[in-house]
Amino acid sequence: MTNIILCGGNGTRLWPLSRALMPKQFIKVFDDKSLFQMTVQRNSSFCDNNLIISNINQYFLALDQQEELNLGIKSKYILEPIARNTAPAIALACMALDYDEIVFITPSDHLIKDEDKYIINIKSAKDLANEGNLVTFGIKPTYPETGFGYIEADHFDVVSFKEKPDTDTANDYINKGNYYWNSGMFMFKAGVFLEEIKKYSLDIYEKSLIAFENKKEIDDNQFRIQQEDMAKIPEDSIDYAVMEKTNKAKVVLSDIDWSDLGGFDSLSNEIKSNENVINVGSKNNFVISNRQVAIVDNDDLVVIDTPDALLVSKKGSSNKVRDIVATLKQKNPHILQEHTLTYRPWGTYEVLLSCDNYKIKRIVVKPQAHLSLQKHIHRNEHWVVVKGTATIQVGDKKSLLRVNESTYIKMGEIHRLSNEGKIPIELIEVQVGEYLGEDDIIRIDDIYKRGND
């Protein structure tokens, strides 16, 4: 069985904790593990392989975090240049597999705490999938949630799929007792799914097949879909494209202590506030911050403090973060993309100070890692090594830069920073120029095979 892990979401409802380049599935808030790592680990006992669907930026995060687990499970990656929802993503994954391969589709950002019941549900689903069914998992609802779709069930049979209801309708579903939350998890034979999507959503199937046939194989572990091919695929979910139309749908009813952690209210039920909080005349507040926080005469607050953004909300209202995100897309889209600390395949950089014509960064390069051979059109750079020994290439000349030594990279000069040692190197970079955006980079050579992004 292959675990197809859907890994491309941005987790915008958890902003500012979650950003496009560090979405919620990769944030380590559960005993120094991420939801992605927990997903891989949870399914590794009954899945032989992983097929992870992501984009290029999240690929390196997923690769690093999977290596940290050291499970020895084989993984391949399908990298999408743009998201087209779950139906095309799953179709592309199934095209990479044999007809009879059982696939288990899971989001990468859900929490499941009752793993004993979970394994029982997986076995039931596998039996149904082997019979040629498309199996979904319905979660026993614990309250009248209006943010989920529902499945009306009659034992293993799907009676109907329901859109996200209003409060009265959700209460009615709960009272009837045969309505379940739609979990977004599925199991079936790869070939059976492709037959059904071809039958009910032919355009998605045909455009996905063209994209798959034109894929660019980077190495044995990953292949990338071409942007022009991906853009032509109609955008649709697996529910709309297939599950609501097929006569092969089955549902496994699940009571597995499940949460999609879609907002701070649900997150506050799973993790504790930081210990550096002083409440005076206050109670039931949820705080994530690395700083000392004091709250006076306020109850039921959500306080999310990051180096470049602060969110304060009443509990029960944190779903309105989506309205904040919509506003920021217009006013300050950069703050939705990344934290001050940004992960790259070679290590990390942290913005310490950013002004109109200069920026100061702390750069950490992993052992045996290399930045791309590159140049900048709009900025000059000064590097000072504070830990380790860096290998510097400027033009055709290579040299070593040791602790407390510095170099200067002129605007337009080809250069590269490498760590050929066994410990991480750290340096301070000062950028000076009229434009300091991260897109001011022209890559000449890159071992990670990225473009100018």
Residues 425 and 403: their CA atoms lie apart, in Å, by: 9
DSSP string, 63-130: HHHHHHH----EEEEEE-SS---HHHHHHHHHHTS-TT-EEEEEESS-EE--HHHHHHHHHHHHHHHH
- List, for residues 331-349, the tens digit of each pLDDT value: 999 999 989 999 999 999 9
- List, for residues 189-238, the tens digit of each pLDDT value: 999 999 999 999 999 999 999 999 999 988 888 899 999 999 999 999 99
pTM, entire model: 0.90
Per-residue pLDDT, averaged over 368-373, amounts to: 96
Percent of the residues in the chain that have a pLDDT greater than 90, as a whole number: 86
Q: Using N-to-C axis directions, what is the helix angle for 190-200 and 202-213, rounded to 10°?
A: 130
Average pLDDT along the chain: 94
pLDDT score, position 451: 66
Per-residue pLDDT, averaged over 424-453, amounts to: 89
Three-state DSSP class for 201?
A: coil
pLDDT score, position 138: 96
When pLDDT is cut at 50, 70 and 90, the band that residue 425 belongs to is: very high
User: Can 2-259 and 341-445 be said to share one CATH topology?
Assistant: no
Per-residue pLDDT, averaged over 419-439, amounts to: 95
Q: Which fold has domain 2-259?
A: Spore Coat Polysaccharide Biosynthesis Protein SpsA; Chain A (3.90.550)
Per-residue pLDDT, averaged over 248-259, amounts to: 96
Domain boundaries along the sequence of the chain: 2-259, 264-331, 341-445
Q: Is the pLDDT of residue 452 over 80?
A: no
- List, for residues 56-80, the tens digit of each pLDDT value: 878 889 999 998 998 888 899 999 9
Task: Kindly report the CATH class assigned to 341-445.
Answer: mainly beta
pLDDT score, position 87: 97
Q: How far is CA 194 from the centre of its chain?
A: 25
CB 258 within 8 A of CB 183: yes
pLDDT score, position 219: 82
- List, for residues 171-199, the tens digit of each pLDDT value: 999 999 999 999 999 999 999 999 999 99
Q: Is the pLDDT of residue 137 over 80?
A: yes
Looking at 190-335, which runs of residues are DSSP E strands?
216-219, 222-224, 249-254, 258-259, 277-280, 286-288, 293-296, 301-306, 309-314
Residue with the bigger pLDDT between 108 and 55: it is 108
Q: Is the pLDDT of residue 100 over 90?
A: yes
Handedness of CA 334, 336, 337, 339 (dihedral sign): positive
Residues 436 and 294: their CA atoms lie apart, in Å, by: 36
